[in-house]
Amino acid sequence: MSTRLVGSVAATLAMVLVAGCGGSSGADGKIELSLGLFSDFGYDKLIEEYMASHPNIKIEQRKVKMEQHNTQLATQLAGGRGAADIVALEEGVVSQFRASKDKFVNLAEYGAKDLKDQWAGWKWNQGTTDGGEFVLGLGTDMGSLGLCYRADLFAAAGLPTDRTEVAKLWPTWADYVKVADQFTAKTPNVKFVDTGRNVYKAILDQTEEGYFAKDDSYIAESNDKVKAAFDTAAALGTKQQTGALEPFSQDWNVALKQGSFATTTCPAWSLALIKAGAGDAAAGKWDVTKAPGEGGNWGGSFLAIPKQGKHPKEAYELAKWLTAPEQQKRIFKETGNLPSQPKVYQDAEVLATVNEYFNSAPVGQIFASSAESLKPTYRGTKDSKVGPVFGTALTRVEQGKQSAAEAWTQALKEATDAAK
Amino acid sequence: MTVTRQETEAAPAVSVSPSKEPKRFRLSSWDARYTPYLIIAPFFLVFGIFGLYPLVYTAWVSLHDWQLIDGNQGFVGLANYVELFGDSKFWNALFNTLSLFVLSTVPQLLAALGLAALLDRGLRGSAFWRAGVLLPNVISVAAVALVFAQFFGRDFGIVNFLLGFVGIDPIDWRAETWASHLAVSTMVMWRWTGYNALLYLAAMQSVPKDMYESATLDGAGRWRMFWSITVPSIRPTILFTVVTSTIGGLQLFAEPALFDPGFAANNSTGGSDRQFQTLVLYMYEKGFRLFDAGYAATVAWMLFVVVLVVAVVNFTLTRRIAGKG
Amino acid sequence: MKNAKAGPLLYGFLVAVLAASIFPLYYSFIVASKDNSVLGEKVPPLIPGGNLVENITRVFDTVDFWLAMQNSFIVASSVAISNVVLGTLAGFAFSRLRFRGRDSLFLVVLGTAMVPTQLGVIPLYMLMSDLDWYGTLQAVIVPVLIGSFAVFWMRQACEETVPYELIEAARMDGCSVLRTFWHVGFPAVRPQAAVLGMFTFMTAWNDFFWPLIVLDPNDSPTVQVALSTLASGYYTDYSLMLAGASIAVLPVIAIFVLLSRQIVGGLMQGALKG
């Protein structure tokens, strides 16, 4: 063991130290661009095409889980090195990164402002700051909100099952709560909704100002709309009409498969998750319709360019190309990620899209109209710090740990701390 | 470790007295004097660069209002520490950390000791058994967490399924403090018992056989031999594992993080009411979720102090207990 | 004690222990051999399905798992070998050599073990940036080339097994400190060194917090980094991920089998001491 071992230590170490594992730029004179992504942006084919038409450019994707992606990106920005040339910023955290805009390239420098009209107004605004002077990111997809429901469970509860009829049941969220009561009265063993948290989020997202006023001042304490949204969702929890599930978690998948809840707020991208979780056995049982209130959006991302990258210009060209309407349309067709550009989501072909699994629901239409009617809420710089506090508060109510009032008081206190 | 005992035992060691060996004086004395430093140097070099520097840097950061991405926003002195002492979330995390530590480490080390004693009894196919008990430590913690998350599922988990047979109602393992602590501790125990058992086993094998033989002649039972011969003989290893599991147990991160489905969804870090949020998770929340690096560094330093105190206490306690034959 | 025959009761008990330690692994193997919907079943599945090969193929299609295994192997074996060599040397010095400040220096070693690892991630990352080590394997190797665990463990091993008489005899013969170590110290602690090598290999193989931050998932993934790429979707494909995790275990088991002879060889110390 002895001498051979020592020899191989030396050899291995030398190998590792000498072979500078992977340099970033130009082994063969090509410009190397990296894309830091999470989940599935559906870029695989597009990237191959782009490399074929731009022989001097080599592109690689880095995919990790969203949570890791954000942690890594923050570390890389703090450390001043290592971030991908183009990074995806999810809607929920984009405001947080917006606060560190000097770590990013102002895309306006490369003429991004000329592209403004491609996107829905609110989507464009989410990606900019300084009154629109600083363009942080170009929008990719969006998460127009619909409401998914199990038609068979509705039938069992004596509720209508047709999606237009169902939509008529709940013009407002107050109506939605009434339907919940009717549902529970008939079928007490099935939960009406997976989690109250997303109901809360959906209601709040339909208000103009949430936790922060448009001047970025913290107003959660005085904003009645926050309290109203919270109370509505908490009431569902208190009456045990929610499944107290973490969306997309393992338990959530199981509940889907077992058919233990009847509705869920569903952004466009979540249809695939519902389908995967519920499985083939539930095909045609799930349907999707208009959500209560006026429109809604959950999720969707932006492509931004960290300043530390070596090739900002080339990176910008690539980001611009990937987010251009033609490409967005193709991504939609391949993955179902909903484009954030009116020209695309109002394209006849997109509008005509139906989802077979969801009882052939005209998802193109439903989501496009949701996006159209959306008056998005203003997201403060610290929105992503404050928001989760109210989410966990609702979970406490659902778990029976606290009353709605207790949960609210604690949430408000924590939120005020986080907003400091 | 056993510093005092060391002193007396080490006396006859390699001290080269120059007067006795005038011939080899130069080489030997240089060798005896400096080679020890040379061979412990790599440790201090590596630690100095990759351990000490971050530690000192973190201390520096904790004295500032420091944003993760934007960096230093100004010196604030001890303000972060003052805030920390009045921060109920910090005390909550400290409580959870200590509770999880006690729940997972004490039974784990006792079980490991027992398991090692069994494995030490001339078994057939000993390598097989050893590999078997070590297996839990081999698989990546992410996969372990995934499997245990399924086991402890509220609605359809195996644990609740089995409890159902004995008439126990399903438990929401993530909602309640004690239930979540129990579940996370189970995961930790499962992963580390075999590991510690093998450490004990390695030590037990160097206990001289003749000690047992003479004890057998004296008619000592197995149980008495275990406590009066085996345990005292491997006392240093026991102390060692107590210290290392104290360190590991107080720095739990992956298990509770992955046990919380809200963690990956960017919502919670250790339960809806932080009921299983450990200090490291709290540090993570402050640093990587809220980007408050200054405060996170403060938590980190307090964690360091806690580990130090608990390790010394445990060390002293264990030395007293294991020392009595 | 060792001579006491192990009865059927003991074997029965050990089988139970083994079952408990293997069951979660078996369960992940089951999931890896089915499709993802298996996790939604009411009654937990206990029989493997027929999708194992397909899932493993998908692992290799999705990420460069060979590269990841190779990298992990380089990382884990460098870390293990270096910890064994440097740790044994340092442990030998702390236990069997006398030098000024020895005990206080050892206390420092102990103290370093208490430093929380996640504590220094940001400064460590900045340091790696300055060294231009981002995305390189040395970023995950060099900081753990020698840890307090190794020093601590090997010092203990030397305390227990290296007899002073032999060292003194070697020194009388004019052996240098290093030669004494090589001929007297190291052979005596080989079993413990093997245990140490095994454990540091495993720790390095399974480390993921730091590698995820400092490695490039395409150019320099380790197995754990590759596994997290497998789970990167909104929808976690558990079958895929656990198939990857199951393959990732194999090399570690192989190392254990290789080293187990050394570990079992602990018996030979009796002779040395005798």
pLDDT band of A75, cuts 50, 70, 90: confident
DSSP 8-state symbol, A352: T
CA atoms within 13 A on the CB side of C267: 10
Instruction: Let me know if domain A145-295+362-419 sits in CATH 3.40.50.300.
Output: no
Q: Does A254 touch chain B (CB under 8 A)?
A: yes
Interface A–C counts its CB contacts (< 8 A) at 125
Where do the H-state alpha helices sit in chain C? 8-32, 52-62, 65-96, 102-113, 121-131, 138-141, 148-161, 164-172, 177-180, 186-188, 190-206, 209-214, 223-230, 238-264, 269-273
Strands A141-142 and A338-339: antiparallel
* Residue A5 pLDDT exceeds 60: no
Contact between residue A123 and residue A340 where contact means Cβ atoms under 8 Å apart? yes
pLDDT (mean) for C40-54: 80
Residue A396 C-alpha, separation from nearest chain B C-alpha, in angstroms? 6
pLDDT (mean) for B254-263: 87
Neighbour subunits, B (≥3 Cβ pairs < 8 A): A, C
Q: Write phi, then psi, for A35 (nearest 5 degrees).
A: -115, 115
What pLDDT was estimated at residue B26?
Answer: 52
ipTM of the complex: 0.85
For residue A8, list chain C residues with Cβ-Cβ distance below 8 A.
Answer: 77, 81
What pLDDT was estimated at residue A325?
Answer: 93
Residue to mutate among B55, B61, B138, with most C CBs inside 10 A, is B138
CA–CA gap between residue C121 and residue A388 (Å, rounded):
25
Question: Virtual CA dihedral for A115, A117, A118, A121, nearest 10 degrees?
Answer: 120
- Whose tokens are 């200590």? That residue is B98
Q: Least CB-CB distance to C39: which of B150, B208, B240?
A: B150
Residue C218 C-alpha, separation from nearest chain B C-alpha, in angstroms? 20
C176 vs A28, residue with greater confidence: C176
CA–CA gap between residue B266 and residue B276 (Å, rounded):
16
Average pLDDT, chain B: 84
Record: contact B139-C245, CB cut-off 8 A: yes
What pLDDT was estimated at residue B325?
Answer: 41
Residue to mutate among A8, A13, A35, A245, with most C CBs inside 10 A, is A13
Q: Least CB-CB distance to A248: which of B156, B265, B290?
A: B265
What residues contact residue B125 under an 8 Å CB cut-off, 6+ apart? none
Record: contact B261-A246, CB cut-off 8 A: yes
* Residue A254 pLDDT exceeds 90: no
* Residue B7 pLDDT exceeds 50: no
DSSP H or E stretch at residue B304 = helix B293-323
Contact between residue A101 and residue A304 where contact means Cβ atoms under 8 Å apart? no
Tens of pLDDT, residue by residue over B115-142, are 999 888 877 777 788 888 888 888 888 7
Record: contact A72-C134, CB cut-off 8 A: no
Record: contact A273-C77, CB cut-off 8 A: no
Helix, strand, coil content of chain B in percent (nearest 5): 70, 5, 25
What pLDDT was estimated at residue B323?
Answer: 63
A226 vs B265, residue with greater confidence: A226
Tens of pLDDT, residue by residue over C185-225, are 888 888 888 889 988 998 899 888 788 888 887 788 899 88
Record: contact C36-A276, CB cut-off 8 A: yes
Contact between residue A226 and residue A209 where contact means Cβ atoms under 8 Å apart? no
Q: Does B268 touch chain A (CB under 8 A)?
A: yes
A265 vs B9, residue with greater confidence: A265
Residue B225 C-alpha, separation from nearest chain C C-alpha, in angstroms? 8
CA–CA gap between residue A331 and residue B317 (Å, rounded):
63
pLDDT (mean) for C36-46: 72
Interface B–C counts its CB contacts (< 8 A) at 310
pLDDT (mean) for A242-267: 90
Nearest Cα neighbor of C59 from C223, C181, C170, C263 is C223
pLDDT (mean) for A85-99: 91
What pLDDT was estimated at residue B109?
Answer: 94
CA–CA gap between residue B214 and residue B209 (Å, rounded):
9
Joined together, the tokens standing for residue B61 give 């950061």
Question: Virtual CA dihedral for A214, A220, A224, A227, nearest 10 degrees?
Answer: 140
Tens of pLDDT, residue by residue over A220-235, are 999 999 999 999 999 9
- Rounded to the nearest 10 degrees, what angle do helices B53-62 and B293-323 cross at? 120
Question: Would you tell me which residues 153-212 of chain B have a C-beta closer than 8 angstroms to some C-beta of chain C?
Answer: 156, 158, 161, 190, 194-195, 198-199, 202-203, 205-206, 208-209, 212
What number of residues does chain A have?
A: 420
pLDDT band of A21, cuts 50, 70, 90: very low
pLDDT (mean) for C134-153: 91
C259 vs A366, residue with greater confidence: A366
Strands A141-142 and A261-267: unpaired
Contact between residue A126 and residue A374 where contact means Cβ atoms under 8 Å apart? no
Joined together, the tokens standing for residue A59 give 């592109």
Residue to mutate among B84, B151, B266, with most A CBs inside 10 A, is B266
Lowest-confidence region among A372-376, A396-400, C145-149 = A372-376
Nearest Cα neighbor of A335 from A35, A34, A45, A36 is A45
Residue A249 C-alpha, separation from nearest chain C C-alpha, in angstroms? 9
What pLDDT was estimated at residue B2?
Answer: 36
What pLDDT was estimated at residue C3?
Answer: 46
Share of residues in chain B with pLDDT > 90 (%): 34
Question: Would you tell me which residues 149-168 of chain A have a C-beta closer than 8 angstroms to some C-beta of chain B?
Answer: none
Record: contact A65-B266, CB cut-off 8 A: no
**Residues forming a β-bridge with A36:** A62, A87
| Burial of residue A253, with CB atoms counted within 10 A of its CB: 0-12 exposed, 13-18 middle, 19 or more buried | buried
CATH of A31-142+299-350, one of 3.30.70.100, 3.40.190.10, 1.10.10.10, 3.50.50.60: 3.40.190.10
* Residue A6 pLDDT exceeds 80: no
Average pLDDT, chain C: 83
Residue A271 C-alpha, separation from nearest chain C C-alpha, in angstroms? 11
Tell me the C-alpha to C-alpha distance, in Å, between residue A68 and each of A74, A400, B221, C180: 10, 31, 55, 49
Q: Does C231 touch chain A (CB under 8 A)?
A: yes
Q: Check residue A263 and give left, alpha or beta (phi > 0: left; psi -120 to 50: alpha).
A: beta
Q: Least CB-CB distance to A100: which of B70, B150, B293?
A: B70
What pLDDT was estimated at residue A375?
Answer: 79
Residue to mutate among B133, B139, B258, with most C CBs inside 10 A, is B139
Q: Write phi, then psi, for A407 (nearest 5 degrees).
A: -60, -40
Q: Write phi, then psi, for B77 (nearest 5 degrees).
A: 65, -135
What pLDDT was estimated at residue A277?
Answer: 86
- Whose tokens are 């978690």? That residue is A249
Nearest Cα neighbor of A80 from A322, A309, A414, A376 is A309
DSSP H or E stretch at residue A338 = strand A338-339
**Residues forming a β-bridge with A35:** A61, A86
* Residue B9 pLDDT exceeds 50: no
Record: contact A79-C220, CB cut-off 8 A: no
Residue C166 C-alpha, separation from nearest chain B C-alpha, in angstroms? 10
For residue A189, list chain B residues with Cβ-Cβ distance below 8 A.
Answer: none
Contact between residue A263 and residue A242 where contact means Cβ atoms under 8 Å apart? no
Contact between residue A330 and residue A408 where contact means Cβ atoms under 8 Å apart? no
Contact between residue B202 and residue C191 where contact means Cβ atoms under 8 Å apart? yes
Q: How many CB atoms lie within 10 A of CB C83?
A: 27
> What does R_g of chain C's alpha carbons equal in angstroms?
23
Residue C121 C-alpha, separation from nearest chain B C-alpha, in angstroms? 8
For residue C191, list chain B residues with Cβ-Cβ distance below 8 A.
Answer: 202, 205
DSSP-based three-state secondary structure for A387:
helix
* Residue C160 pLDDT exceeds 80: no
Where do the H-state alpha helices sit in A80-169? 91-98, 121-126, 151-156, 163-169
DSSP-based three-state secondary structure for A137:
strand
What pLDDT was estimated at residue C6?
Answer: 65
- CA nearest to A256 within chain C: C40
Q: Check residue A158 and give left, alpha or beta (phi > 0: left; psi -120 to 50: alpha).
A: left
Question: Would you tell me which residues 96-115 of chain B have a C-beta closer than 8 angstroms to some C-beta of chain C?
Answer: 115
Contact between residue B112 and residue B193 where contact means Cβ atoms under 8 Å apart? yes
Record: contact B140-C98, CB cut-off 8 A: no
Lowest-confidence region among B77-86, B258-267, C59-68 = B258-267
A408 vs C160, residue with greater confidence: A408
pLDDT (mean) for A29-36: 90
What residues contact residue B253 under an 8 Å CB cut-off, 6+ apart? B278, B280, B281, B284, C118, C209
Record: contact C2-B209, CB cut-off 8 A: yes
* Residue A304 pLDDT exceeds 60: yes
Question: Would you tell me which residues 282-301 of chain B have a C-beta closer than 8 angstroms to some C-beta of chain C?
Answer: 283-284, 287, 293, 297, 300-301
- CA nearest to A18 within chain C: C138
DSSP of B26-85: HHHHHHHHHHHHHHHHHHHHHHIIIIIHHHHHHHHHHTEEEETTTEEEEE-TTHHHHHHH
Q: Least CB-CB distance to C136: which of A22, A63, A272?
A: A22
Tens of pLDDT, residue by residue over A178-215, are 999 999 999 999 999 999 999 999 999 888 889 999 88
A51 vs B28, residue with greater confidence: A51
- CA nearest to A84 within chain C: C216
What pLDDT was estimated at residue C272?
Answer: 38
What pLDDT was estimated at residue C264?
Answer: 54
What pLDDT was estimated at residue A415?
Answer: 93
Neighbour subunits, A (≥3 Cβ pairs < 8 A): B, C
Record: contact B129-C14, CB cut-off 8 A: yes
Q: Does C15 touch chain B (CB under 8 A)?
A: no
CA–CA gap between residue A377 and residue C34 (Å, rounded):
43
DSSP 8-state symbol, A140: -
Nearest Cα neighbor of A38 from B259, C135, C228 is C228
Tens of pLDDT, residue by residue over B268-297, are 888 889 999 999 999 989 988 888 999 999
Cβ density class C194-231: b for 16+ within 10 Å, e for less:
bbbbbbbbbbbbbbbbbbbbbbbbbbbbbbbbbbbbbb
Q: Could you tell me the pTM of the whole model?
A: 0.88
Tens of pLDDT, residue by residue over A111-150, are 999 999 999 888 999 999 988 899 999 999 988 899 999 9
Residue to mutate among A2, A4, A6, A9, with most C CBs inside 10 A, is A9
Q: How many CB atoms lie within 10 A of CB A187?
A: 17
Q: How many CB atoms lie within 10 A of CB A60?
A: 16
What pLDDT was estimated at residue C263?
Answer: 60
Joined together, the tokens standing for residue C102 give 């020895």
CATH of C54-273, one of 1.10.3720.10, 3.40.1280.10, 1.10.260.40, 2.60.40.10: 1.10.3720.10
Q: Does C111 touch chain B (CB under 8 A)?
A: yes
**Residues forming a β-bridge with A242:** A193
What pLDDT was estimated at residue B324?
Answer: 52
**Residues forming a β-bridge with B292:** B67
pLDDT (mean) for A66-77: 87
Return the sign of the alpha-carbon dihedral for residues A187, A190, A196, A199.
negative
Q: Least CB-CB distance to B280: which of C11, C116, C143?
A: C116
The full set of domain ranges for chain A reads: 31-142+299-350, 145-295+362-419
CA–CA gap between residue C148 and residue C111 (Å, rounded):
9
What pLDDT was estimated at residue B1?
Answer: 35
Fold of the CATH domain B81-323: MetI-like fold (1.10.3720)
Residue to mutate among C41, C234, C263, with most A CBs inside 10 A, is C234
Record: contact B244-C160, CB cut-off 8 A: no
Record: contact C232-A21, CB cut-off 8 A: no
- CA nearest to A7 within chain C: C81
CA–CA gap between residue A385 and residue A345 (Å, rounded):
31
